[in-house]
Amino acid sequence: MLVPKGISHETLEIKKSRFISIAKYTSSAEESRDILKTVRLEYPDSSHIVHAFLSGPGSDIFGYSDDHEPSGTAGRPVLEVLKGSGIGNIIMLVVRYFGGIKLGTGGLVKAYTEAAQLALKHLPVEELVSRKHFSLNVPYKSYDSVLKILKKYSADVEEPVFDTKIHIIGTIPEKNCDLADTKIQDISSGRIILDIVK
C-alpha cells in the first residue's frame, strides 16, 4: 500500500470560488480530527472545510464531511477520489472560499473532485513498510560500527542514552530485523543482540 510521504497543497479557482486542497498522512480517525481542527484555525474565514480520510491496515476506517455543502456534493466525492487512488492512511481537506456564484450540485461535485485530484497529483508517496521497535545496549567502542549497520538496514534511531553502555532504541523494517541482528552479532562476537520489542 502507498502512503503519503509529505504534504500536497494546491489551489483551484472555479467561477470565483477558491478551492484549496490539502493532502497528507493520517494514522487514525482521532489524528484526522486533530488535523481538521488545525486547518480550521489556519483558515478561520473560509466558507467550508470539506474533508475525507482513509486509515487502518487496509484503509478500512474512513470518514467524510460535507461541512454544510449540500449533502453528497463534497465529502463523498473527495472520499471516492481517495478510494480510487490506491493511497492509504491519507486525509484530504478542501477549503472553499465562496466567490458569489452558485455552482449547483453537479458543479460542486465536479469542483471538489477536481480539487482532490489536483492535490493527489502532486502528493509525494512511499510504500508502507511494516516496522518493528528495537532496543540494544552497546559498548562505547562498538557504537559507530553498530550505528552504521542500523543505518544500512534503514533503521530510524532515536536519541541515544549514554550510561555505562549506550542504550539505543528505534524502529527498523521488519524484513531487515534478522539481517541487522546477524551483522551486529558478527561484529560483536555475539555480545550485542538486537532486541525486538514485541
- Give tens-digit pLDDT for 113-159: 999 999 999 999 988 878 889 999 999 999 999 999 999 999 989 99
Based on the fold, state whether residues 91 and 182 are members of the same structural domain. Answer: no
Based on the fold, state whether residues 175 and 117 are members of the same structural domain. Answer: no
Do residues 75 and 51 touch, judged by C-beta distance below 8 A?
A: yes
Based on the fold, state whether residues 10 and 105 are members of the same structural domain. Answer: yes
**Domain span at residue 35?**
2-127
The number of distinct structural domains making up the chain is: 2
Distance CA 44, CA 41 (A): 5
pTM for this predicted structure: 0.71
Based on the fold, state whether residues 152 and 115 are members of the same structural domain. Answer: no
Element of type H or E holding 119: helix 104-121
